């Protein structure tokens, strides 16, 4: 299985009404060298200033981003390229948010999601490993959480690698 850690930034709380403005992905393997970054033009006129502030973009900047269908096709092609004949598995630190956007965009623009119908939540995984519903994995990140989605995906991938090493998580990484 190829674990692909993803992180997204959006201009609002839900896909369709609001837009995913950028996302990053990284293959979880020791080198952490396979990354993807996409910036997407808004799909609706709705946006929340506070959401864009977190993402670090102005609304006008997002209007110059790339066509969402093109970006999603590039991402799908990248997933095939890095997948090395294994099943790709989506994982993020908040898949309730990140997954809904990636899944919606894939289905809306390409008619299918290369990840299938499943995703994993890093925070929940760590709580199970630690046997503590209040535990957080965030101290295991090496890369600072900047809201640049590639940085954030990298930090989360680093944490997953640390969970395997320090807590003996039974997981295999491609690469």
Q: Report how far apart the first and last C-alpha atoms of the chain are (Å, whole number).
A: 11
Q: DSSP character for 53?
A: H
Q: Is 84 left (phi over 0), alpha (psi -120 to 50) or beta?
A: left
CA atoms within 13 A on the CB side of 171: 24
Residue 117 annotated among the catalytic residues of the structure? no
C-alpha 34: how far from chain center: 13
Catalytic residue among 59, 86, 145, 147: 147
Q: Are strands 2-10 and 88-92 parallel, antiparallel or unpaired?
A: parallel
Closest among 58, 143, 103, 50 to 39, alpha carbons compared: 58
HSE of 172, CA atoms in CB hemisphere, 13 A: 5
Catalytic residues: 147
């Amino acid at each position: 299985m190829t674990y692909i850690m993803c992180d997204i930034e959006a201009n609002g709380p839900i896909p369709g009404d609001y837009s995913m403005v950028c996302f990053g992905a990284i293959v979880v393997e020791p080198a952490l060298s396979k990354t993807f970054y996409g910036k997407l033009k808004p799909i609706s006129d709705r946006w929340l200033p506070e959401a864009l502030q977190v993402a670090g973009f102005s609304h006008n900047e997002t209007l110059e981003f790339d066509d969402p269908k093109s970006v999603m096709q590039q991402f799908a092609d990248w997933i095939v390229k890095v997948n090395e004949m294994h099943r790709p598995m989506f994982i993020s630190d908040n898949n309730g948010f990140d997954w809904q956007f990636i899944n919606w965009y894939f289905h809306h623009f390409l008619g299918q999601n290369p990840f299938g119908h499943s995703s994993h939540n890093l925070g929940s995984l760590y709580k199970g490993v630690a046997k503590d519903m209040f535990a957080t994995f965030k101290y295991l990140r090496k890369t600072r959480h900047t809201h640049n989605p590639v940085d954030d995906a990298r930090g989360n991938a680093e944490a997953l690698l640390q969970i395997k090493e320090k807590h003996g998580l039974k997981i295999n990484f491609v690469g």
